[in-house]
Structure 1
Amino acid sequence: MQLPDRAATSRRAPDLAGRRIECQTLDRLVRMVRAGGSRALVLHGDAGVGKTALLEYLAGNAAGCRVARAAGVESEMELAFAGLHQLCAPMLERLEVLPAPQGDALRAALGMTVGSTPDRFLVGLAVLSMLSDVAEEQPLVCLVDDQQWLDQASAQVLGFVARRLGAEAVGLVFAARVRGTHLEGLPELMVRGLPRAEARALLDSVLTGPIDDRVRDQIVAETRGNLLALLELPRGFTVAELAGGFGLPVTSPLAGSIEESFRRRVGALPHETRRLLLLAAADPTGDPALVWRASGRLGIGADAAAAAADADLADFGTRVRFRHPLARAAAYWSAPAHDRHEAHRALAEATDAQLDPDRRAWHRAHAAPGPDEDVAAELERSAGRAQARGGLGAAAAFLKYAATLTLDPARRAERALAAAHAKIQAGAFDAAVDLLAIAEAGPLSDLDHARADMLRAQVAYVGNRGSDAAPLLVKAAERLALIDADLSRAAHLDALAAAIFAGRLAGPGGDVTTVARAAASAPPPQRAARAPDLLLDGLAADYNQGYAAELPLLRTALATFGADMSTEEELHWLSWASVTAMRTWDDEHWDALSARHVRLARTTGTLSELPLALTLRTYLLLFVGDLAAASSLVDEAHTVKDVTGSNLAPYGALGLAAFHGDEARAAALLDATMQDVNRRGEGLGITLAEWSNTVLHNGLGRYDAALAAARRATAYEPDLGSMAWPAVEIVEAAVRAGAVDTATGACRRLSEMTGASGTQWALGLHARSRALLSEGDEAERHYREAIARLGRTRVRTDLARAHLLYGEWLRRERRRGDAREQLRTAHTMLEAMGLAAFAERAGRELRATGATARKRTLTDSPGELTAQEAQIARLARDGLSNPEIGTRLFLSAHTVQYHLRKVFTKLGITSRGDLDRVLATDAATTAKPEQS
């Protein structure tokens, strides 16, 4: 048995000794791909165990498939999308067939164009679409070796692609020493050492003389059957030493032992050959022209390559290839530091500054023996290019290296601060904190001190949503007050948002009243007040002066939102514009703003913002009564969170389960949400979760449980706005549970808000609540007012519940005919909207009047469809094309078509036009999810 060459082969590779199970697994993968399916697989195991050999076996047995390759290189880990470029370079002609946003994102990521920073998940979708398009002509097998050394951007994208494979006829196989975070959850195959018999046979095949059986057994045992170790460790010892075992080292870490073997072999080479190997090891591209240009600068002749090839360490052919990454490491690290600097300097000089400026900067950085301002400045420019391409990890690495090469303390602090910002953007929060410490140790301007405070707040906010972030943001805002009024106001608004999120779980100095007092002292805006300024002043007024004081400012903010604002600013503040509309019972602006938020997040590919946008839109649709559309958004939010790793609690799913009356699902989601928000210090989540719990139990008619949940929801009194929805529910629950005093107090607090708001929604809910606490003609007057006012709004669920409560009251008043009319209206509306528990409650009341409650027979998600099929069917019904559905759900258009064929078969239809007939639509609702 021999270690296969890494070059691809078109002939069928022979079976590998001792690898029967592994080869069978890879054979099954190829058969699946040839049959039109897709599969990802992670081969992982120790260095030298034979993962590359298995990849070569797979390439050799993939007859009829196109094979694409990439390999991670340790020294190239900081170059953004370097690994992805390897894989995609032979397929770039397919860029023209990609949807425009995807093609533009991939071009920007690969440095082919200059534009806005591409979202990494949009890049991933572009790669998925490209691979799918290639596989339309010929099944495709992609092999990624040494995945642990891929650059972060490539690792993220390829991990995304592996998770979204469906029916594209694509195989994606990774080989890695350990299964990293980007590959978690993918099918895996642990590659272990060779079985004892095969290990002994392999060892015997490379020995040049007899060996004592006990020594052979000791080598096999200590190498644990590691293929490369069995081949390498016997080298360098005489026949006599091996025969008696006297030359073998004591047991040591396996990778270290193999590398030491390579190091000994490198050390035995002629001086010029060692220098050539060092050059090749320092260059990750394997470009022989570059290596020979650099070697010429060092006076190394071409004949130096022969000895490296004879020693089976590296091959200088059409590409420069080392026998194994450990051989590369040995060639590099066994050289003195001065020689390594010299090699990088020669490679930098040989690298074209126009075609590959970033790799040139990287070599210059490694060539620098100490601080060098010219190199640091070049690294800064490289960081800017990396950031523009979406290579946030690479940008952070360039900036960190620039800081280490900077002698001037103030400049070093500035660069460390920039590096910390880039680390946060890349999600490397621990590294960002270390860089912030370096920055804060140097002389910083007041502006930079404020930026450092804001960066620390961002780290805290990502971890716990607000309990630690708000005080840091206030500190930053106060530093900025005399430097930049607009930045100070933005920081104050961020602090208020963090404090509202933290709610009852706020840390010291981070409670909403303290933060609002600080916000009241914010400097005036430097220009005419825009919507964010009005939001800040209005929210500060709410907490400092009372609910009514905020409304004029907040109404103007909602009416003018978006004017003189960039898309980035809109995305940053749209969530709080929607929240403000919710808190003021402004269903018209909530509808418009939440739709715009979703549309902007989708069209710009800002997936970090999309889960929150979808959640806020979901709640609007719940009140509108379009639970089918809300369900689609919940599914989409789940997909996006699964793809991006968003830590937003499942608020939308919990609200949907509560409105549906799905007790089991709501209970599970409630438990998960409460654990999540308590862990992160997100007190507002407790209010939302308990409000959902109250809605659930009010629908089920379990008023004692509803009252208990409502009391928990309203336990944090400082934030009156967050109590708005729970206050409505507590009145109904308390009246039915016999706690009239509690209901009266809640109604009084509710009237403070609804009276100030004055919208039809607010006044309708107040009238409904007053009716529950009234009797006789007064109660009937309030019920009729509630129905009239709510009928002028979008909030159909609240209108249907008003009909239900009025009908229940009429039945108790023994007015059966009038009761039937209201209850039948309520039952029809509630059942059509999918509020099953409330509909059942209306049905019971209707039957008690002697009438019959008719049930609908259509359902929105036929039971025979899977969740993904139902989601795709709904989107197709709503008019989205296959590429649009694929973009929405992070699937290839080919996979969407595959699922639609299954949908048509299961539903017994032949076209998209039939979906309207077989999927229920809600004629009682007026809003639909925004299409992009």
Structure 2
Amino acid sequence: MRSPGQRAGALLPIVEPVHGTGGLLGREDERTRLAEVIGAARNGHGSALVVVGEPGIGKTALLRDAAQLTQLRAVRLDGYESESAMPYAAIERLTGLLRGHLADIPDRQRQTLDIASGAVDGPAPDRFLVGLGVLSLLAAAGTGQALLCTVDDAHLLDPESLAVLAFVARRLGAEHVAVVLAGRDEADLVATLAGVPVLELAGLAPEPAVALLNLSTNEPFSPTAATAIVRATGGNPLALVDLAVDPLLRELTDLGLGPDPVPIGRHLEAHYLRRVMQLPGESQRWLLLAAADSTGNPELLEDAGARLALDPARGDDAEAAGLVRLEPMVRFRHPLVRSAVYSSASLGERRRAHGALAVAAGKLGLVEAEAWHASRAVTGTDAEVAERLVHAADLAARRGGSASRASILARAARLTPAGALHDERQVEAAEAALEAGAADVAGRLLADVRDADLDRVVRGRAILVRSAVALFVADPAGVRAATTEQLRAADAFRGHDTAREQQALLEAFERCLSAERLVDGTTLDSLGRRMARGASGDDPASRILRGIAAMVLESYAAALGPARDAFAALLGLPDEILRRSGTLIASIGAFLWDDVGRAAGLTRARRAAQEMGDLQRLDTLLWVSALAELCGGSVERARGFDDAVREVRKAMGYDGENVVNGAVLSWTGASFELVAAIADGANATGFGGVGSSTTCALAVRDLAARDYGAARERLHPIVVLDPFLQTTPLFLADHAEAATRSGHVEEAKRSARTLAEMAGVNGSAWCRGVAERALALTGDGEVEQHYRASVEALASTGAVVELARSHLVYGEWLRRARRRREAVAQLRLARDHFDRSGAAVFLPRTLAELEAAGVTEDVAAHGDALDLTTQERTVARLAAAGRTNAEIGANLFISPNTVDYHLRKVFQKLGITSRRQLAEHLGGEGR
């Protein structure tokens, strides 16, 4: 719930440090920087800026100046402390300001904004989907006349609104929109707005500072005194303006004349407190009420004041003293005024003010405000107020406000008497913090919770949170122990909460895949047996558990049926659940060698995550999809997914350039030393799955370079000495090639026969294709028949690189058999497939074979050779695959305007004019 004034989205008046002096002084460079941002927006290049600085430094004045001087349409938001636990409070006000443009954005995004604002009920939206809705809304509002959106006191915004505005600021592209946020230089603000350019606002230079000081008083200071005051205040404009009229300023010894500026906040606060103390006592009590509220809602203050027998006219005294403005809402001259009033009051006086505000808020139906004030009106614990906070947290959850919910629940836990309910609320607050991405907060919330004091279900939940925090910070011991911790949680849930038990077991398997051979505290067999015990019925979760248990415990032939049933159950899940199951889709699909089902499942899961704005799940799905494409797909598509991971991480505020997928890097030509270092680093941090996949990709590079001994040396420990579930068979064909050509033929034959046995029972064309190639390479049976069978089988799959490799080795065999013409035909097919699929690491070997056969040919340039940025390449792939601008924008979390801008640049670089030509250029590798 919001106050009536907030719902209207009114633009509030502000009191500037330079009020009455005729404008800004000494801010030429800063104004130029803002003019560049505004000019870019006017020219269709969306731009953003964060202005940070200490209290009174002139942030608000700079925003006001920008809004007045520009010809752009301007809207303004302000942060309020009292809204800091109300999810999407600021976004609700922004939506209200731009309501006339809601009809111009996609229906799903409009519905998401309505849910986030509390206007309608619906599934809690992800903050990134809300961000896409706000981006579209601002883009629509900037059509026709460019838009400037300023946000003051951004450090006081609710965390969901701040995260959304940070997302928008990072994703602005070809929009006529400028976003400027101003706030104090606080850690949370800077971290949340990471990736947005920052303007640090310092004090005024001496000359304009002296001018401002003397303009603010009827009795100018002497040059010596003025210089000393400017130095002592650090040129802080608000300090210069407000302290200029303070008689105590004339006593320079009180300010200090040392080389360093004095603490401006302390001096200003003392100055304001002196002005407050000059007011009548009833006026001071009215100011305390206003300071305790901070929303400035006149109706709320009037009702609360009546309960404290305060005359509403007392606000006029405060306004006359220059401490507040009353219209259209109550605004303090500066946060330090509010701080001075609130800090100087006794605890009892504050509690009485909050108590009156709580009753008034309840009367007005302001549920969150009522709970917030009530929680500050009590001492010690209060079960009834804690329950009201929990209700407010539930309202936050409905809007997707995980961060706000965590904050409210933490307060509710503090007010809950010691016991089971207190502990449960503490754990629930930690879960909400983890969901919001605040792993450090989640860890702190559980620091004082003893697992032994918890009931079984709550204990299991606490175990899961602690394990997730360890994974989030990549603690090596925590990563290796994650599987064991998941099993501990499942044991705690057993017999009390079957759904949680089964989910914990499925996640235990996923954690095991992350650590692979580095798992601590349990064994693969123990995990399989525990999963089998958790399969208690015929529901989808039980079927999936039963299938995975069979994969772990049974022979391949015996496990095939249960695994197929598990895969069918998995792919039959609703999209909302499937988006969380990327690792399961990839692992079971690989076990079955079902490239079609795996690709379809991952595509559905990615689309669901995109549509729901779940960028954290999408990040994982894209990573998994990239690895899947390297085993039974296309390097070009894998690189596309890797590029998309970068875009997603940029949207979330991380440095996308630091995305390091060692396997993709190996396949795309990174140095052996770099890729090997990535594998070592992954193993050192406990991520054995990443380490092994990277090592196997290096082995493929060795094969491409004909360094068969090195390839076998990398693969032998993974494939022969310590095989692992479904991942080892994916590299048996590589091992067969490496072992054969390095003189270990019997070893190679065992790998080839294992593959052939699997292909004989699973019916997979992909498996049969690589098995036939392995058999041919080892000389087992009719060699040419095996080569032909391999090519025929793989031609019907999406395993383009595997098909190219079969053409290559078949061509090599034909050339050595002196069948030059047939060899050239196979080698040319290999060259074309390698080229178009992005597997350029095999081209030197292929071209060398062609040259040995008497043919010298160049390779045509395709997607990888083009001078395209990461985002241009990603947009081009999606456009080549037939996606519309709106669909591409939703996929990449950018506006359709930005998509169109990138496509025009792509067309210009490629010298083409249509999407059909684009598809031809990219060789059909769009996704």
Structure 2 length normalisation: TM-score? 0.90
Between 1:440-449 and 1:24-33, the stretch displaced more is: 440-449
Shift of the 255–703 alpha-carbon distance from structure 1 to 2, 3 Å rule, reads farther
Q: Find the counterpart in structure 2 of residue 512 from structure 1.
A: 524
- SS of residue matched to 1:175: strand
Instruction: Tell me if 1:860 matches 2:863.
Output: yes
Q: Find the counterpart in structure 2 of residue 736 from structure 1.
A: 741
Q: Find the counterpart in structure 1 of residue 712 from structure 2.
A: 707
Equivalent pair of 1:691/1:710 in contact (CA under 8 Å) = yes
In structure 2, distance between residues paired with 1:323 and 1:715: 74
Instruction: Tell me if 1:830 matches 2:834.
Output: yes
Question: Unpaired runs of 5+ in structure 1?
Answer: none
Q: Find the counterpart in structure 2 of residue 36 from structure 1.
A: 44
In structure 1, distance between residues paired with 2:72 and 2:550: 66
Q: Find the counterpart in structure 1 of residue 4 from structure 2.
A: none
The alpha carbon displacement at 1:138 in A equals: 1.3
1:726 corresponds to which of 727, 731, 756: 731
2:619 corresponds to which of 611, 634, 638: 611
In structure 2, distance between residues paired with 1:834 and 1:429: 38
In structure 2, distance between residues paired with 1:136 and 1:665: 47
In structure 1, distance between residues paired with 2:808 and 2:797: 17
In structure 2, distance between residues paired with 1:701 and 1:441: 56
In structure 1, distance between residues paired with 2:576 and 2:224: 70
1:534 corresponds to which of 524, 540, 543: 543
Q: Find the counterpart in structure 2 of residue 805 from structure 1.
A: 809
In structure 2, distance between residues paired with 1:340 and 1:172: 37
In structure 1, distance between residues paired with 2:750 and 2:757: 11
- SS of residue matched to 2:616: coil
- SS of residue matched to 2:77: strand
Question: Unpaired runs of 5+ in structure 2?
Answer: 1-11
The alpha carbon displacement at 1:758 in A equals: 5.3
Equivalent pair of 1:242/1:248 in contact (CA under 8 Å) = no
Q: Find the counterpart in structure 1 of residue 313 from structure 2.
A: 303
1:391 corresponds to which of 394, 401, 424: 401
Between 1:483-492 and 1:207-216, the stretch displaced more is: 207-216
Q: Find the counterpart in structure 1 of residue 5 from structure 2.
A: none
After superposition, the C-alpha distances for 1:479-537 in whole angstroms (9 at most, x for unaligned) are 2222234432332221122122112333x3055344335435x2441x3242x323323
After superposition, the C-alpha distances for 1:622-652 in whole angstroms (9 at most, x for unaligned) are 5565554444333222211222368999999
Shift of the 899–784 alpha-carbon distance from structure 1 to 2, 3 Å rule, reads closer
The alpha carbon displacement at 1:106 in A equals: 1.1
In structure 2, distance between residues paired with 1:581 and 1:853: 40
Equivalent pair of 1:27/1:61 in contact (CA under 8 Å) = no
1:503 corresponds to which of 498, 516, 530: 516
Between 1:905-914 and 1:824-833, the stretch displaced more is: 905-914
2:563 corresponds to which of 554, 569, 572: 554
The alpha carbon displacement at 1:451 in A equals: 2.1
Q: Find the counterpart in structure 2 of residue 404 from structure 1.
A: 414
Instruction: Tell me if 1:322 matches 2:332.
Output: yes
Equivalent pair of 2:518/2:686 in contact (CA under 8 Å) = yes
The alpha carbon displacement at 1:730 in A equals: 2.4
Paired residues in the alignment total 907
The alpha carbon displacement at 1:200 in A equals: 2.8
- SS of residue matched to 1:305: helix
Give the AA of the match of 1:91: L
The alpha carbon displacement at 1:837 in A equals: 3.1
In structure 1, distance between residues paired with 2:815 and 2:790: 18
* Match runs of 1:107-126 below 5 Å: 107-126=114-133
Equivalent pair of 1:69/1:86 in contact (CA under 8 Å) = no
The alpha carbon displacement at 1:902 in A equals: 3.3
In structure 1, distance between residues paired with 2:755 and 2:49: 57
Q: Find the counterpart in structure 2 of residue 873 from structure 1.
A: 876
Q: Find the counterpart in structure 1 of residue 686 from structure 2.
A: 681
In structure 2, distance between residues paired with 1:533 and 1:648: 38
The alpha carbon displacement at 1:193 in A equals: 1.0
Instruction: Tell me if 1:895 matches 2:898.
Output: yes
In structure 1, distance between residues paired with 2:889 and 2:737: 44
After superposition, the C-alpha distances for 1:204-246 in whole angstroms (9 at most, x for unaligned) are 34456576766544432222111222234455435xx725636
- SS of residue matched to 1:70: strand
Give the AA of the match of 1:799: L
Q: Find the counterpart in structure 1 of residue 670 from structure 2.
A: 664
Q: Find the counterpart in structure 2 of residue 693 from structure 1.
A: 698
Equivalent pair of 2:582/2:624 in contact (CA under 8 Å) = no
Give the AA of the match of 1:849: A
Q: Find the counterpart in structure 1 of residue 279 from structure 2.
A: 269
Q: Find the counterpart in structure 1 of residue 61 from structure 2.
A: 53
Between 1:201-210 and 1:15-24, the stretch displaced more is: 201-210
Instruction: Tell me if 1:590 matches 2:598.
Output: yes
In structure 2, distance between residues paired with 1:901 and 1:826: 33
Equivalent pair of 1:148/1:180 in contact (CA under 8 Å) = no
In structure 2, distance between residues paired with 1:537 and 1:22: 64
Q: Find the counterpart in structure 1 of residue 152 from structure 2.
A: 145
Shift of the 509–716 alpha-carbon distance from structure 1 to 2, 3 Å rule, reads farther
The alpha carbon displacement at 1:854 in A equals: 4.5
Instruction: Tell me if 1:176 matches 2:178.
Output: no
Give the AA of the match of 2:875: I
Quote the RMSD (CA, aligned, Å). 3.3
Shift of the 907–355 alpha-carbon distance from structure 1 to 2, 3 Å rule, reads farther
In structure 1, distance between residues paired with 2:149 and 2:745: 68
Instruction: Tell me if 1:219 matches 2:229.
Output: yes
The alpha carbon displacement at 1:148 in A equals: 1.6
The alpha carbon displacement at 1:702 in A equals: 3.3
* Match runs of 1:157-306 below 5 Å: 157-178=164-185, 180-207=190-217, 209=219, 216-233=226-243, 236-238=246-248, 242=250, 245=253, 253-306=263-316
Instruction: Tell me if 1:493 matches 2:506.
Output: yes
Structure 1 runs, 4 residues or longer, greater than 6 Å off: 247-251, 646-652
Shift of the 791–42 alpha-carbon distance from structure 1 to 2, 3 Å rule, reads closer
In structure 1, distance between residues paired with 2:255 and 2:608: 68
After superposition, the C-alpha distances for 1:811-867 in whole angstroms (9 at most, x for unaligned) are 2233334433433333333334332232442232123223x3554646236735444
Give the AA of the match of 2:882: G
In structure 2, distance between residues paired with 1:651 and 1:205: 54
Give the AA of the match of 1:151: D
Structure 1 length normalisation: TM-score? 0.90
- SS of residue matched to 1:41: strand
In structure 1, distance between residues paired with 2:342 and 2:758: 71
1:419 corresponds to which of 421, 429, 432: 429
Give the AA of the match of 1:346: A
In structure 1, distance between residues paired with 2:641 and 2:255: 68
Give the AA of the match of 1:537: R
1:101 corresponds to which of 90, 98, 108: 108
In structure 1, distance between residues paired with 2:605 and 2:570: 12
- SS of residue matched to 2:488: helix
- SS of residue matched to 2:26: coil
Equivalent pair of 2:255/2:262 in contact (CA under 8 Å) = no
Shift of the 473–222 alpha-carbon distance from structure 1 to 2, 3 Å rule, reads same
Equivalent pair of 2:635/2:801 in contact (CA under 8 Å) = no
The alpha carbon displacement at 1:543 in A equals: 3.4
Shift of the 7–840 alpha-carbon distance from structure 1 to 2, 3 Å rule, reads same
Between 1:735-744 and 1:113-122, the stretch displaced more is: 735-744
In structure 2, distance between residues paired with 1:8 and 1:210: 21
In structure 2, distance between residues paired with 1:664 and 1:14: 60
Equivalent pair of 1:538/1:553 in contact (CA under 8 Å) = yes
- SS of residue matched to 2:48: strand
Shift of the 681–784 alpha-carbon distance from structure 1 to 2, 3 Å rule, reads same
